[in-house]
Structure 1
Amino acid sequence: MKAKLTVDKDFVIGKIDKRIYGSFIEHLGRAVYGGIYEPGHATADEQGFREDVLALVRELQTPIVRYPGGNFVSGYNWEDGVGPVEARKKRLELAWRTIEPNTFGLNEFAGWCRKAGTEAMMAVNLGTRGADEARNLVEYCNHPSGSYYSDLRASHGCHAPHAIKTWCLGNEMDGPWQIGHKTAHEYGRTALESAKVMKWVDPTIELVACGSSSLGMKTFPEWEATVLDHTYEQVEYISLHQYYGNRDGDSPTFLARSLEMDQFIHSVIATCDYVKARKRGKKDIHLSFDEWNVWYHSNEADRQMEPWQVAPPQLEDVYNHEDALLVGCMLISMLKRADRVKMACLAQLVNVIAPIMTANDGGAWRQTIFYPFLHASVYGHGEALVPLVQSPKYDTKTITDVPYLESIAVYNEARGEVTIFAVNRSLDEAMTLQSDLRSFGDCRVIAHTVLEHDDLKAVNTEAQPDTVKPHDGGDAAADGTLVTATLPRQSWNVIRLSV
């Protein structure tokens, strides 16, 4: 099988915002307790943060992490998680039906972010609360001193402001499952009034309005149009959420799901631009794809969970090789609209549908999906180039004209490098990929990294953490401006070139 990729350094999609490689920590399952925070663990530091987990997070170079939810935030009182730990109250957590001990809260998260080398993306509760809580939280986090909430923060040991720049106006408010679920008009009004007072407290912040919870919502895309009709002047982003699964074992269709993600992104952009045109606006609304991943493996186990436990295992998907391939395709989908997708959060970071898994009192290891996310976050910086792809195609029962090759190239001018990300969706045949970089002059191959495995269902575990692991044995070779490489069947490939 043969395919071709042509790119030109003058045909640029857009500059890649590093925050497209963000992630997410919610008070859900073992994401916090037993994940990033486990006092008494052999690797725990003086604040209770697991150093083995911090090392893996730093390896991913995740620039921003969304917190504290997720569904959790719509019933959360942030005041429960600040101040002396011994005075904090345990609460019934209704979104996931657990007990929240509140021993980890806002200030602990801010401290963890500093150690992880990341920024916080903070969500405010617009489910059970609203504008008053939102403005107070911004004051607590960002105002230097001399006011009630900034001085309260200082009394809690945080004298310098946290200076959180990016804020989410609630979470999935279109969903009937959400605490405080609202219609688009109800949410739009609440979001507008919250946004106003939040920016009055700190005019430097940027805001994300809630978009649809998934492409399949019956209210999509009317929800986006109505919400932006209210909030266009106050917000910079609108959110997208999407998860995929392979419940019926149809791998060719599963690997094609990123084409649906492409359409989702295009439809939201079109809706944003419609509102801009109708308002005679001058600014583009950008996209924050702040929940995305594969999620289905843990569904049955979660249905059997006993409620009202502290940090029980929840949403602990054990990812296989085909999941890593789809995650690679989804990353490429977002890079293909790097002009408008400026932030994204792989949901989530540790234990809960996550690239990093841990055992309580035990080890930490990389899941299969860790690797494409790592490669993109490390090498996917600079400008995304328009990919002209010629590839054989296949049809599934529900998706037609699926190219076997999914690919994009990124040009990092400062480093003098082009990186090609490529997935061979074929389950049967290797692919010969010829990449034409005609505008770059002679190329030199730095490395051709391959993530491959004969078994689509192969997984990594604590006992066998390297079952699915990339290698640098790819055969990419450059001849002037042409680069030829073999992409093994069902593989993720990273071809780095000096130009």
Structure 2
Amino acid sequence: MTKKKANVYLDRNFTVSEVDERIFGSFIEHLGRAVYTGIYQPDHQTADENGFREDVLELIKEIDPPIIRYPGGNFVSGYNWEDGVGPVEDRPNRLELAWRTVETNEVGTNEFMQWAEKAGTDVMMAVNLGTRGIDAARNYLEYCNHPGGSYYSDLRKEHGREEPYNIKTWCLGNEMDGPWQIGHKTADEYGRLALETAKVMKGLDPDIELVVSGSSNRQMPTFADWEATVLEHTYEHIDYISLHQYFRNDEDDIKNFLAQTESLDDFIHSVVSICDYIKAKKNSDKTVNLSFDEWNVWYHSDDADKKREPWQVAPPQLEDIYNFEDALVVGLTLITLLKHADRVKIANQAQLVNVIAPIMTSEDGGSWRQTIFYPYYHASKFGRGTVLDSRVTSPTYDSKDFKDVDLLDQVTIFDEDKDELTIFAVNRDTESALELDTQLNGFEDYQVVEHIVLENEDLKAVNTEENPNNVKPHSNGSSEVKGNKLTAELPKLSWNVIRLTK
């Protein structure tokens, strides 16, 4: 049987965009065990003096997320930020309606910001535009960012934080198009509120950037109309519009599952078109970019979540146990986001710990990397630089919902500071390896320093606390450079990271 072959043409002079490092962001919501027994557990053997789990912090620092969205998510649409500041013993327990739990508010703004500083990450803060609005958003921003001499900035100082946090990225609510959302609004209602909130927040701190809520997913019946209407109201006063997408494999169809990122590509193109339509309509010089601030695989935990009793404190929720095929989809998602780095400037894998997460913890034990940890870690570590404008020819296949899907999906990043070229590639072929030939125009003196492969014969293989290395990458990939051509073999159903330097 003739070996299948894909060809890629790269030229040092043809680029897409520099990567905004925030594309490797993540998300912590007050949901399930993300906060309590996730990042924070004062009675754990690894807890520091502030109650943060050091074992979890070590894994997070491996990924090195540059920004983390907080505190939600659906949670934020019913959240009173004042509940989470001041003496912990005075904070109220609240019935949290988005996820039907009890929120103790033991961790709030100051604790989370302290944790973020220790983790070495910036914070992307969300304000409540569900049950609240302009005034609460203004006050929260003043509390976080104003130097002093005003009520809320001085209140922050009373709470032990002298210097402002200078949080520069803020979300104007969350998924406000969704009927499930507390305070759900029409596009006009939300657009007007987001506009007035944006004006007040930028009046208080002109240096912040604002993310307006787009559609919760591509399949929403109001999609496109929602974006256009909201941007009609807010275009000149915001900087990004959000997109959310989750992938599922309910029918256990690996070919269709791996093809779902084709819809992600279409989603991005569509929202970019809407943004640019409003730009043209308003005759504006401003470009609104995209914040893909929720994305992941999410479906494994659905049955367990339906059986959970309500009104518990930090119960297990959305605890998807990820398998090998999920890691391939996460890799494909990262490739797609990077290919659109000219317009996708922020992206947050949802979420970071325990809740649909690359990192899991045991309350009485340790922490470990799920299968999806590895593509995220590789992309964050090696994907910072400039995206090259690749030209690809690949064999294709058809699946249940998609036609002419390339067996090869890849993106190439050039890090000029490190003088390093990195190719991220997924072979979608379920049966055979794929030979990759890449023309390296302008990189003739480069040689392979590492070819990392994540592969597994068992698509359903998972990592557990007892067997944390069941699915793990190796560095024995087959690739070499001769002249100006890289030849590599990509094993069937594999995630590949090929690194080259002089």
Check if 1:5 corresponds to 2:21. Answer: no
- Per-residue CA deviations over 1:111-165 (Å, capped at 9, x if unaligned) read 0000000000000000000000000000000000000000000000011111100
**Secondary structure in 2 aligned to 1:345?**
strand
Check if 1:419 corresponds to 2:432. Answer: no
Check if 1:252 corresponds to 2:255. Answer: yes
Q: Distance in 2 between matches of 1:113 and 1:361?
A: 24
- Out of 440, 452, 455, the position equivalent to 1:452 is 455
1:158-307 equivalent positions in 2, closer than 5 A = 158-307=161-310
Task: State the Cα distance separating 1:481 from its structure 2 match.
Answer: 1.3
- Per-residue CA deviations over 1:170-213 (Å, capped at 9, x if unaligned) read 00000000000000000000000101111111111000000000
Kindly indicate whether the alpha-carbon contact (under 8 Å) linking 1:4 and 1:390 is maintained by their aligned counterparts in 2: yes
Check if 1:355 corresponds to 2:358. Answer: yes
Instruction: Identify unmatched segments of 5+ residues in structure 1.
Output: none
The amino acid across from 1:227 in the alignment is: V
* Match in the other structure for 2:72: 69
Task: State the Cα distance separating 1:442 from its structure 2 match.
Answer: 2.1
Task: State the Cα distance separating 1:361 from its structure 2 match.
Answer: 2.1
Task: State the Cα distance separating 1:9 from its structure 2 match.
Answer: 1.4
Check if 1:392 corresponds to 2:389. Answer: no
Task: State the Cα distance separating 1:271 from its structure 2 match.
Answer: 0.3
Runs of 4+ deviating beyond 6 Å: none
- Out of 59, 64, 74, the position equivalent to 2:62 is 59
Q: Distance in 2 between matches of 1:389 and 1:323?
A: 24
**Secondary structure in 1 aligned to 2:322?**
coil
1:397-408 equivalent positions in 2, closer than 5 A = 397-408=400-411
The amino acid across from 1:362 in the alignment is: G
Check if 1:367 corresponds to 2:370. Answer: yes
Task: State the Cα distance separating 1:10 from its structure 2 match.
Answer: 1.2
* Match in the other structure for 2:150: 147
* Match in the other structure for 2:471: 468
The amino acid across from 2:149 in the alignment is: G
Q: Distance in 1 between matches of 2:417 and 2:110?
A: 36
Check if 1:496 corresponds to 2:463. Answer: no
**Secondary structure in 2 aligned to 1:191?**
helix
Task: State the Cα distance separating 1:420 from its structure 2 match.
Answer: 0.3
Check if 1:339 corresponds to 2:342. Answer: yes
- Out of 12, 15, 40, the position equivalent to 1:37 is 40
Task: State the Cα distance separating 1:441 from its structure 2 match.
Answer: 2.0
Task: State the Cα distance separating 1:299 from its structure 2 match.
Answer: 0.4
- Per-residue CA deviations over 1:63-100 (Å, capped at 9, x if unaligned) read 00000000000000000000000000000000000000
Task: State the Cα distance separating 1:342 from its structure 2 match.
Answer: 0.3
The amino acid across from 2:92 in the alignment is: K
Q: Distance in 1 between matches of 2:309 and 2:384?
A: 44
Q: Distance in 2 between matches of 1:200 and 1:46?
A: 38
**Secondary structure in 1 aligned to 2:112?**
helix
Please give the TM-score of this superposition, normalised by the length of structure 2. Answer: 0.99
* Match in the other structure for 2:483: 480
Task: State the Cα distance separating 1:443 from its structure 2 match.
Answer: 1.7
Q: Distance in 2 between matches of 1:200 and 1:249?
A: 51
Task: State the Cα distance separating 1:393 from its structure 2 match.
Answer: 0.4
**Secondary structure in 1 aligned to 2:381?**
helix
Task: State the Cα distance separating 1:40 from its structure 2 match.
Answer: 0.8
Kindly indicate whether the alpha-carbon contact (under 8 Å) linking 1:443 and 1:480 is maintained by their aligned counterparts in 2: no
Q: Distance in 2 between matches of 1:60 and 1:411?
A: 19
Q: Distance in 1 between matches of 2:313 and 2:153?
A: 31
The amino acid across from 1:39 in the alignment is: P
Task: State the Cα distance separating 1:439 from its structure 2 match.
Answer: 2.2
Q: Distance in 1 between matches of 2:441 and 2:20?
A: 26
- Out of 21, 25, 29, the position equivalent to 1:26 is 29
The amino acid across from 1:179 in the alignment is: I
* Match in the other structure for 2:102: 99
* Match in the other structure for 1:113: 116
* Match in the other structure for 2:90: 87
The amino acid across from 2:91 in the alignment is: R
Q: Distance in 2 between matches of 1:111 and 1:480?
A: 51
Amino-acid identity (%): 64
Q: Distance in 2 between matches of 1:365 and 1:89?
A: 33
Check if 1:428 corresponds to 2:460. Answer: no
Q: Distance in 1 between matches of 2:400 and 2:183?
A: 38
The amino acid across from 1:214 in the alignment is: N
* Match in the other structure for 1:78: 81
Give the alignment's Cα RMSD to 1 decimal.
0.6
Task: State the Cα distance separating 1:459 from its structure 2 match.
Answer: 0.3
The amino acid across from 1:182 in the alignment is: K
- Out of 308, 313, 325, the position equivalent to 1:310 is 313
Check if 1:123 corresponds to 2:126. Answer: yes
The amino acid across from 1:300 in the alignment is: D
Q: Distance in 2 between matches of 1:266 and 1:334?
A: 11
The amino acid across from 1:394 in the alignment is: Y
- Size of the alignment, in residue pairs? 499
Q: Distance in 2 between matches of 1:155 and 1:119?
A: 23
Q: Distance in 2 between matches of 1:114 and 1:319?
A: 29
The amino acid across from 2:446 in the alignment is: C
**Secondary structure in 2 aligned to 1:227?**
helix
The amino acid across from 1:70 in the alignment is: G
